Structure 1
Amino acid sequence: MLLTNAGVYVAMALATHSGIESFAASDLRAWGGNYGPAVAAGQWWRLLSSAFLHGGFMHLANNLAILGLLGWMLEKPVGTVRFALVYLLAGIGGSLVGLYWHPDTVSVGASGAIFGLMGAALVLALRKALPDDLGGVLVTLVAVMGGFNLVLGFLMPGVDNAAHLGGIFVGAAVGLLFSPGLIHRVAYYKGTNPDE
């Protein structure tokens, strides 16, 4: 996911000769930003493509830093396929909520998907579906990073907090679906029976 987000950004910066500070809304729309009228016209793919676009370098850097940290801690214990599914489904869920909240705004960014990873991490940690030492760290990380970014989203104009909230709820729901299998996996490595 890191390389995909970075690669799309570089390709867009080269094609538009901009992006160090920010991209124009017209460029973001042309490259697949989430935009109500276009989605209503049948361009449903924007619900996902927008999760790989970023409005500028600082937007990208912030999201990649958080995504890299979450990926480093979460991808190995849950598996690459589950990690990618949470990202993709939460990205779509965040886009849908953002679209409902402000259909006439071009919205981009991986943060809906990243909040989905936070939601999944929180549920998996609380349900003991992750190793004990990792679960506590992830709960703290999600509380600090997620809380900070949500508060920042309410204070700063142009931040799509609707996508953040949509992403975290979808991620939590997917984490809940994944948790039974992961609980058994953790129990297997600990040599215990979770059904006892």
Structure 2
Amino acid sequence: MSVWTEFLRDKKFEIKDDYGIFLHEFKTPMFFSTEKDLMTYLGDSELKEVLFIKFKEDDNFKLFGSEKRHQDIINSTQKKKNIKSILWAIVVLVGILAYQKYFKNNEDPRDFKLWILLASIVPIINFGFEYFSYKKNNSENFDGFINNSIFVFWLNKSYKANLAYILPVILSICFGFKEILELGKSTKYNLINDWALLKSQVFLGEYYRIVSNLFVHSNMLHISAVAGALLFLSKLFLRFYNIYFLIFIFLITGIVGSFTSMIFHPDDISYGASSSVLGILGFLISFILKFSNIIPKNFINEMLTSSILFIVFLGIVGFNYIDNTANLGGFVAGLLLGATLDNRNSVEAKIKESFLKIKI
């Protein structure tokens, strides 16, 4: 019997109404007087928060998505989310047009296409993942779904989550500084010229560029994609390791990416922390595969699938825009670091200890 099943069995509460839901992350069950009230709440809430649902004729809570009638709720909510995604894409489109007109008249038109992709297609793909995860819920994968929910809950309880903002904030400050310098056209400083990975300058002795290029980003699209991905991965990374090790992986994989770019593209200019982001991603992929006996299979599958899509998307869309050689070098370096690091006992102990501290 899983932890969740025991919790549901032992939880003492009085069902005063005919309809109800049980929420994710150990929240208090909610009950409604009418089915309309229940459906209204479900339509306005995030379905990923819902674990179980109860209708009038049901004696017990049923795993949400496990019955045919639940699909009407899922389909309706999916449709609303897609409409919101389209509206959000329109808002982003208007913002980009204003940004290009008043601040960046010479912006590369490829940035415009990438913004649209990120603003509309990516959210729809995320909704699709959520949709199909509920479509496949049944009694056979009940334990996997519940264990995954507990694991995600545990990840989100990290007291070090705020530390995940350190690197994205530093990168954003550097970008803001670059933008301020560019607004003052008379300035003699240019961060791309001064900090980027100009290979010819490195060969002349400016070795600092091997690291400094990680803190230079060309535009809002570049910094938004890098900082957003870095924030997400850092939160996961810091659940198992400290901030110092995160910075170490960030720098080491970024440096490896710089060297890879210098070897295969000695005449090109490179900058940005995407090689470090992919290095951290590679490290985490090795990590979750190594600890597959602890980490739920659902989480591993979702992580691997989203990672593959992210890498393919980055490689195809940014083939002529991003230094994929540097990214590949950083990713491989992260994979190797994650595979060679032997800390199984400490991580297992940390997971088990922290689970005991979770208060329901």
Between the aligned partners of 2:287 and 2:221, the Cα distance in structure 1 is 30
> Compared with structure 1, are the counterparts of its residues 158 and 88 closer, same or farther at alpha carbon in structure 2 (3 Å cutoff)?
same
- TM-score (norm: length of structure 1): 0.83
Between the aligned partners of 2:339 and 2:306, the Cα distance in structure 1 is 19
Superposed counterparts of 1:117-196, under 5 Å: 117-128=280-291, 132-133=295-296, 135-154=300-319, 157-178=320-341, 180-181=342-343, 183-189=344-350
Aligned position for 1:13: 179
CA deviation after TM superposition for structure 1 residue 27, in Å = 4.7
- What percent identity do the matched residue pairs reach? 21
Q: Is the 8 A contact 2:279 2:335 kept in 1?
A: yes
- TM-score (norm: length of structure 2): 0.47
Between the aligned partners of 1:72 and 1:184, the Cα distance in structure 2 is 21
Aligned residues: 180
Aligned position for 2:31: none
Between the aligned partners of 2:261 and 2:171, the Cα distance in structure 1 is 20
Between the aligned partners of 1:82 and 1:177, the Cα distance in structure 2 is 15
Aligned position for 2:103: none
Q: Is the 8 A contact 1:112 1:166 kept in 2?
A: yes
> Compared with structure 1, are the counterparts of its residues 174 and 76 closer, same or farther at alpha carbon in structure 2 (3 Å cutoff)?
same
Structural RMSD (CA): 2.2
Q: Which contiguous aligned blocks of 4+ residues in structure 1 show a shift greater than 6 angstroms?
A: none
Between the aligned partners of 1:132 and 1:72, the Cα distance in structure 2 is 16
Q: Is the 8 A contact 1:93 1:170 kept in 2?
A: yes
Greater shift, 134-143 or 87-96, is seen at 134-143
Residue from 263, 266, 289 that aligns with 1:100: 263
Between the aligned partners of 1:174 and 1:39, the Cα distance in structure 2 is 26
CA deviation after TM superposition for structure 1 residue 151, in Å = 2.6
- Give the number of the structure whose alpha-carbon radius of gyration is greater: 2
Aligned position for 1:47: 210
Superposed counterparts of 1:53-132, under 5 Å: 53-128=216-291, 132=295
Between the aligned partners of 1:80 and 1:29, the Cα distance in structure 2 is 30
5+ residue gaps, structure 2, are 1-166, 185-189, 353-360
Larger strand percent: 2
Between the aligned partners of 1:82 and 1:141, the Cα distance in structure 2 is 24
5+ residue gaps, structure 1, are 19-25, 192-196
Larger helix percent: 1
Between the aligned partners of 2:239 and 2:329, the Cα distance in structure 1 is 25
What is the CA deviation profile of residues 125-173 of structure 1, one whole-angstrom value per residue up to 9, with x for unaligned ones? Answer: 111189514545433332222232123233xx23100011011011112
> Compared with structure 1, are the counterparts of its residues 174 and 163 closer, same or farther at alpha carbon in structure 2 (3 Å cutoff)?
same
In the alignment, structure 1 residue 28 sits paired with structure 2 residue 28: no
Q: Is the 8 A contact 2:168 2:228 kept in 1?
A: no
- SS of the residue corresponding to residue 240 of structure 2 reads helix
Between the aligned partners of 1:125 and 1:53, the Cα distance in structure 2 is 30
Q: Is the 8 A contact 2:260 2:325 kept in 1?
A: yes
Q: Is the 8 A contact 1:94 1:167 kept in 2?
A: yes
